[in-house]
């Protein structure tokens, strides 16, 4: 590139800059004014007319739906165990569970709701009369105890979570895929001890 062509390019850029500085604000003001006038005009086109894009409508309905489900979930007095794992609607986890096999979904739902074949629930159903954990015999056999607190499987828990013990608050933070993986491991290694056969 020689000096002459560089000079002409700089001249061109300078002229374009002057043009946009001169007319840019005027064009914006004109566009604003026309938009304002359009809002006052009668609608022309297929009826019924809705001044929102379909994407906005879908988004608003989705947000309303999530808020309504959360409100109803908070107001339900029952489901104590399920609320320990699920506080609000979680789209990411929902998308995960709908892709699970029927067998895994059954196991996960049992874990999250407490409607499973762990000893506490079987005792409530009067199927057995000892609600204690069959591994440690120290606490009631529940999902929270199994996943976060049973000392008999602390080593294995550490392999999955990186910690020996997890409280209810910790378990809420974990992805359900890890809870399911740990439960599948228990099911295959302690088939006679841990009754995680499914939902009751």
The residues binding Zn ion (CB under 5 A) are 133, 135-136, 150
6: Cβ contacts below 8 Å, ≥ 6 apart: none
Nearer Cβ to Zn ion, position 136 or 199?
Answer: 136
Smallest gap from Cβ 131 to Zn ion, in A, equals: 11
Report the C-alpha gap between 126 and 128 in whole angstroms: 5
Query: Are 47 and 53 spatial neighbours (Cβ–Cβ below 8 Å)?
Result: no
Smallest gap from Cβ 146 to Zn ion, in A, equals: 7
Burial, 60: exposed, middle or buried (Cβ in 10 Å; 0-12, 13-18, 19+)?
Answer: exposed
Query: Are 148 and 170 spatial neighbours (Cβ–Cβ below 8 Å)?
Result: yes
Smallest gap from Cβ 151 to Zn ion, in A, equals: 7
Smallest gap from Cβ 150 to Zn ion, in A, equals: 3
Nearer Cβ to Zn ion, position 86 or 135?
Answer: 135
Nearer Cβ to Zn ion, position 79 or 154?
Answer: 154
Nearer Cβ to Zn ion, position 135 or 199?
Answer: 135
């Amino acid at each position: 590139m020689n000096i002459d062509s560089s000079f002409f390019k700089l001249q061109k850029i300078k002229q374009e800059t002057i043009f946009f500085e001169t007319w840019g604000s005027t064009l914006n003001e004109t566009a604003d004014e026309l938009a304002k006038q359009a809002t006052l005009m009668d609608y022309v086109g297929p009826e019924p007319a809705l001044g929102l894009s379909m994407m906005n409508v879908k988004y608003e309905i989705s947000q309303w739906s999530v808020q309504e489900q959360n409100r109803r979930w908070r107001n339900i007095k029952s489901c104590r165990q399920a609320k320990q794992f699920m506080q609000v609607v979680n789209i990411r986890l929902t998308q995960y569970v709908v892709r699970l096999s029927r067998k895994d979904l059954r196991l996960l739902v049992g874990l999250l709701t407490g409607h499973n074949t762990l000893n506490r629930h079987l005792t409530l159903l009067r199927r057995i009369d000892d609600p204690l954990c069959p591994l440690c015999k120290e606490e009631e056999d529940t999902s929270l105890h199994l996943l976060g607190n049973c000392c008999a499987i602390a080593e294995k828990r550490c392999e999955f979570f990186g910690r020996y013990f997890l409280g209810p608050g910790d378990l809420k933070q974990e992805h359900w895929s890890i809870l399911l993986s740990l439960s599948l491991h228990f099911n295959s290694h302690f088939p006679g001890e841990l009754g995680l056969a499914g939902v009751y």
